[in-house]
Amino acid sequence: MTIDTSAPASPARSGAADPAASERLTGRAGLILFVLCAAQFMVALDFSVLNVALPVLGEDLGFSQSALQWAVTAFALPSGGFLLLFGRIADLYGRRRLFLAGLALFGAASLLATFAWDPASFLAGRALQGLGAAVIVPTGMSLLTTTFPEGPMRARALGISGTLLSLGFTIGMVLGGVLTDTLGWRSTMGLLAVFTLIVLPLAPGVLPESRTPDRPRLDLPGAVTVTGGLLALIYALSTAAERGFGGTDVLVTLVAGAALLSAFVVIESRHPAPLVSLPMLRRRTVAFGNLGGLVTFSMMSTVVFVLTLYLQEVLGLSALWTGLVFGVQGVMSAVAGSLASRVIARIGARRTLVVSLLGQGVFVALLLGLGAESGAVLATVGVSVASMFHLGAIISYGLTVTSGVPDGEQGLATGLVTTTQQVGITIGIPLLGVLATTGDELFDGVRTVLAVDAAVVLATALLVAVGLRRAPRA
């Protein structure tokens, strides 16, 4: 289903399309976009709002220091592991229906986490939040791409969505500290419940229903192997971020994840109605678009992580001043979101993706000029401009991957987009961030991470440029 937001052409001007009109949202289209973006913003907040509150939360509920990581991992496991499965179920049985169920589950889980009385009840709430997020993210994205047609409308909608996604992460970091200091850690979870109470009543009367016209049988073996593989991979990488890669559980789950994902590929090549169409994965736009998305998310999350260490541990800035640095980053991301759709309309999503990756890599490389005793201004400017290019990459990779995909497979395509996003956020810090914390000097480790980060992004920009140049036009 699509929404036509342009006025009919008059006889005198037929054939002369007005680009401004094609980007103008009607009241109903704007309301649909508000509901979908508010839900995505709420999930983005959940990824970061709790981080600052972890020490206080652990002391209040009785978490041991080693167990505290599960407050984050309990959310990350289901939110990343079930994305593809729920994206496909939404294609088959109704995206609106599943989106509403995900919102209701997320809100109830947030209340459980808010009023948790011990570690077990809190972790149950976090896990159910993650499961709700795994429903909301792919169904919300597929509702967006099936509601807004390809072209300026979809570019603008994805631009707004991407901006709010980036702002959600940034605002969550700042808001988490303010709420924890003033109202206590429980207010961080209560805020998410309030958000749900605002969005959920609006959604049923606003969102259109959409699904594939036919209903093939769900690929159960594929669902089991891909979900199990992603769960194992995300567990291993999340745990490695805290304890390194030497633990037996990390190694075992890495091997198990690789084996399950390999089995998934074999199953999909033989199943008559696969969960993931391998021909879709062989599309250059899907393959190289998702590669760009994976790298931009993983490398930018690593930059934020190491700059947080640098600002507080090397320069000695307070948590408040560190939060203000990332607040500037959020403002600049919002500016980028307002410009991205215009850039994409002018040069196309594929070129925008390449340019954005190049810009992100260049400005991360400029951060190598940080000093051991000064550098807060350079850090603020560098991470803010790099984030502007990062947001351009987020929006353009989503457009690149979903362009030319039939509506019946949009849930699958957006499931791939959001799975790439989640895995990217998960793998960056354990793969590179550990280099900053295991050496003798933290400052030297930060510089090493920034150098590797910039090199990876720039190399990926070249790969994506070559790969997408050879891709056929949708």
Contacts (Cβ under 8 Å, ≥6 apart) of 415: 83, 84, 86, 87, 88, 138, 142
The overall pTM is greater than 0.75:
no
Residues 176 and 185: their CA atoms lie apart, in Å, by 8
Residues 140 and 207: their CA atoms lie apart, in Å, by 10
Contacts 24+ apart (CB under 8 A), 339-346: 340/155, 340/159, 340/162, 340/163, 340/391, 340/392, 340/395, 340/396, 341/23, 341/152, 341/155, 341/156, 341/158, 341/159, 341/395, 343/392, 344/155, 344/159, 344/395, 344/396, 344/399, 345/19, 345/152, 345/155
Low-confidence residues of the chain: pLDDT under 50: 1-22
Query: Which pLDDT does position 74 carry in this prediction?
Result: 83
Q: Are the C-beta atoms of residues 368 and 307 closer than 8 Å to each other? A: no
Closest CA to 92 of 413, 414, 418, 411: 411
Q: What is the dihedral of CA 274, 280, 282, 284, to 10 degrees?
A: -160
In a 10 Å sphere around its CB, with 0-12 CB exposed, 13-18 middle and 19+ buried, how is residue 223 labelled? buried
Closest CA to 114 of 168, 194, 172, 39: 194
HSE, side-chain direction, 13 A CA sphere, residue 276: 29
Query: Which pLDDT does position 13 carry in this prediction?
Result: 34
Query: Which pLDDT does position 207 carry in this prediction?
Result: 80
